[in-house]
């Protein structure tokens, strides 16, 4: 590919804003996604010289790259499918995601064996492909915003290739505590941290994750990396050689919020109204609703949510026939056996609760697994109680979206391990996600919350949830990067 060296703002992420499917007649159908980065890039406008570098994820995407089909402002990398699978499924989703979300069953795993080393080499190759593409595309002094755990090595690789660039890395996940992170082999964690510290700025969704990262970096060579924790000034990690300061990596926090304007408008469109009618039928007249909407992701804790609901029905029989748990659990990462097993367990447990307590006119759990955004918004609008109980979560936007969208206001049962807890805890009913009995009690408290209190809390939750809308979240990061001096 001929290098263009013309982009002034570059975003790099594994999953891009568009994906392709090959239709039966051989034509390519493009599907566009949403989210914070899409809003952010549209906010800087079409003339900002923005380019999004992403990976081809499917055969359709690879076919689009092969045919030269693409969108303006997007460069999709046709990384070989086997290299991508090792990097994405093998390392990013089976190791790094597990480390940051504390998901290992440690008596048996992890075991960093020869297969891990083979996959790690693919992770390096995949990161290098991004670094090279960014180096080819970036104009002199451009700002590059690298996303997430898939691309931890990119900042360091890119700095080697293009020291003139301003580089940021943003983690959308939590960051692991030191004792968990140090499970990784020494050379691997050094590579990960040094890769990220190739950036001028590394940023997170909450201070908790930023602090965890800095503590892990403190375990690196203290002669070379000196942590700064000044009060009133940005935290940073200085890169040193003896007494000489070589450069600084700054640490930032940007708590992504919900997009109120979009949600209000979208949730009142006709397809959402239709889904509300259908859902009301399924729920039944006059019943209360406990709503959850998640990707079926190991960290979302859907199974313990169902166990808590069963405990509620067990111990407080007055709720039988009077409440329905509306649980949307949309398949995710189904290439991984552990995700498929988890999805099956969610379905099995929902069926078990329905056969144990259900009556001819009442299904205690209404479970849907087919992804349908309009139906998710319909459930948000109908929610009396929002259940968000992840084991650990970078932010959890569902916790922020439900109070914004719910028609009558909803009581929020929220895990203290969700990033959103930092901003929403005052008006949520906070639970330990491992404590099923406490979660059941919180569900009861939420269901019996007086309407005035529920409305007041929902109003405050919605205000906190929308404090940093997606476009501003992105612009803040870009401005913070461009304003850095003394790199």
Which of 332/432 has CB closer to ligand F6P?
332
Binding residues for ligand F6P, how many (CB under 6 A)? 7
CA 372 centroid distance within chain: 18
Q: Out of 75, 235, 333, 381, name the contact with ligand F6P by CB under 6 A.
A: 333
Q: How far is the CB of 64 from ligand F6P (least distance, A)?
A: 18
Neighbouring C-alpha atoms within 13 Å toward the C-beta of 408: 14
| Closer of 15 and 368 to ligand F6P (Cβ) | 15
Beta carbon of residue 270, minimum distance to ligand F6P (angstroms, whole number) = 29
| Candidate residues 394, 419, 469, 470; the one interacting with ligand F6P per rule CB under 6 A | 394
Q: Are 201 and 171 in contact (CB under 8 A)?
A: no
Interacting residues of 142 by C-beta distance below 8 A, sequence separation 6+: 7, 8, 9, 10, 165, 166
Omega within 30 of 0 (cis) for the link into 110: yes
Which of 98/309 has CB closer to ligand F6P? 98
Q: Is 169 in the site for ligand F6P (CB under 6 A)?
A: no
Exactly one of 173, 206, 343, 376 binds ligand F6P (CB under 6 A); which one? Answer: 173
State the number of CA atoms in the 13 A half-sphere of 339 facing the CB. 18
Tell me which of 15, 208, 266, 316 binds ligand F6P, using CB under 6 A.
15
Q: How far is CA 83 from CA 129, 274, 334, in A?
A: 11, 43, 18
Q: Which residue's CB is nearer to ligand F6P, number 92 or number 378?
A: 92
When computed from its CA atoms, the radius of gyration of the chain, rounded to whole angstroms, is 23
| Helix, strand, coil percentages in the chain from 3-state DSSP, rounded to 5 | 50, 20, 30
Single residue of 61, 86, 137, 148 touching ligand F6P by CB under 6 A? 148
Of the two residues 173 and 191, which places its CB atom closer to ligand F6P in the complex? 173
Please say which residue, 37 or 366, places its beta carbon nearer to ligand F6P. Answer: 37
Note the maximum CA span of the chain.
Answer: 76
Q: Based on CB atoms, which residue is closest to ligand F6P, 150 or 189?
A: 150
Crossing angle between the packed helical segments 436-447 and 302-315, to the nearest 10 degrees:
70
At 468, give phi and psi (nearest 5°): -130, 85
Length of the chain: 487
Q: Considering the complex, what minimum distance in angstroms separates the CB of residue 92 from ligand F6P?
A: 8
Q: Closest approach of Cβ 173 to ligand F6P, in Å?
A: 5
Among 62, 101, 159, 172, binds ligand F6P (CB under 6 A): 172
Closest-CB residue for ligand F6P? 172
Question: How many whole angstroms separate alpha carbon 369 and alpha carbon 310?
Answer: 20
DSSP state string for 201-250: EEEESSHHHHHHHHHHHHTS-TTTEEEE--TTS--EEEEEETTEEEEEEE
CB of 172 to ligand F6P, least distance (A): 3
3-state secondary structure at position 366: strand
Looking at beta carbons only, is 165 or 256 nearer to ligand F6P? 256
CB of 415 to ligand F6P, least distance (A): 15
Binding residues for ligand F6P, rule: CB under 6 A, are 15, 148, 172-173, 332-333, 394
């Amino acid at each position: 590919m001929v290098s263009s060296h013309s982009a002034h703002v570059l975003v790099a992420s594994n999953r891009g804003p568009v994906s392709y499917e090959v239709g039966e007649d051989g034509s390519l159908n493009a599907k566009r996604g949403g989210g914070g980065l899409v809003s952010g890039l549209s906010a800087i406008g079409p003339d900002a010289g923005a380019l999004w570098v992403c990976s081809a994820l499917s055969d359709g995407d690879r076919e689009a790259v092969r045919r030269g089909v693409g969108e303006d402002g997007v460069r999709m990398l046709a990384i070989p499918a086997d290299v991508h699978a090792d990097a994405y499924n093998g390392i990013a989703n089976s190791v790094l995601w597990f480390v940051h979300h504390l998901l290992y069953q440690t008596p048996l795993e992890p075991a960093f064996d020869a297969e891990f080393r083979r996959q790690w080499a693919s992770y390096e190759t995949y990161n290098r492909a991004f670094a090279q593409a960014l180096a080819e595309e970036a104009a002199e002094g451009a700002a590059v915003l690298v996303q997430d755990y898939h691309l931890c090595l990119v900042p360091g690789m890119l700095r080697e290739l293009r020291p003139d660039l301003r580089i940021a890395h943003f983690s959308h996940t939590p960051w692991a505590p030191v004792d968990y992170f140090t499970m990784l082999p020494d050379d691997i964690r050094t590579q990960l941290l040094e890769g990220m510290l190739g950036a001028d700025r590394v940023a997170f969704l909450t201070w908790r994750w930023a602090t965890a990262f800095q503590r892990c970096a403190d375990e690196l060579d203290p002669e070379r990396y000196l942590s700064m924790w000044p009060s009133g000034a940005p935290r940073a990690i200085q890169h040193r050689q003896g007494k000489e300061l070589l450069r600084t990596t700054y640490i930032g926090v940007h708590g992504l919020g919900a997009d109120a304007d979009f949600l209000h408008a979208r949730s009142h469109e006709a397809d959402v109204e239709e889904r509300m009618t259908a859902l009301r039928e399924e729920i039944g007249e006059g019943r209360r609703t406990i709503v959850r909407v998640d990707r079926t992701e190991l960290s979302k804790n859907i199974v313990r949510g169902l166990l808590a609901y069963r405990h509620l029905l067990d111990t407080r029989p007055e709720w039988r026939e009077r409440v329905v748990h509306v649980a949307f659990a949309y398949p995710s990462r189904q290439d991984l056996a552990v995700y498929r097993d988890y999805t099956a367990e969610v379905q099995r447990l929902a069926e078990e609760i329905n056969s144990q307590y259900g009556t001819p006119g009442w299904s205690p759990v209404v479970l849907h697994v087919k992804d349908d955004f309009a139906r998710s918004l319909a459930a948000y609008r109908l929610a009396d109680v929002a259940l968000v109980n992840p084991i650990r979560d970078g932010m959890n936007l569902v916790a922020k979206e439900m109070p914004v969208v719910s028609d009558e206001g909803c009581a929020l049962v929220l895990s203290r391990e969700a990033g959103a807890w930092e901003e929403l805890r005052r008006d949520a009913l906070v639970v330990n996600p491992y404590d099923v009995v406490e979660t059941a009690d919180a569900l009861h408290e939420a269901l019996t919350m007086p309407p005035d209190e529920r409305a007041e809390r929902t109003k405050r939750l919605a205000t906190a949830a929308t404090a940093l809308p997606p476009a501003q979240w992105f612009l803040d990061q870009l401005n913070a990067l461009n304003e850095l001096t003394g790199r």
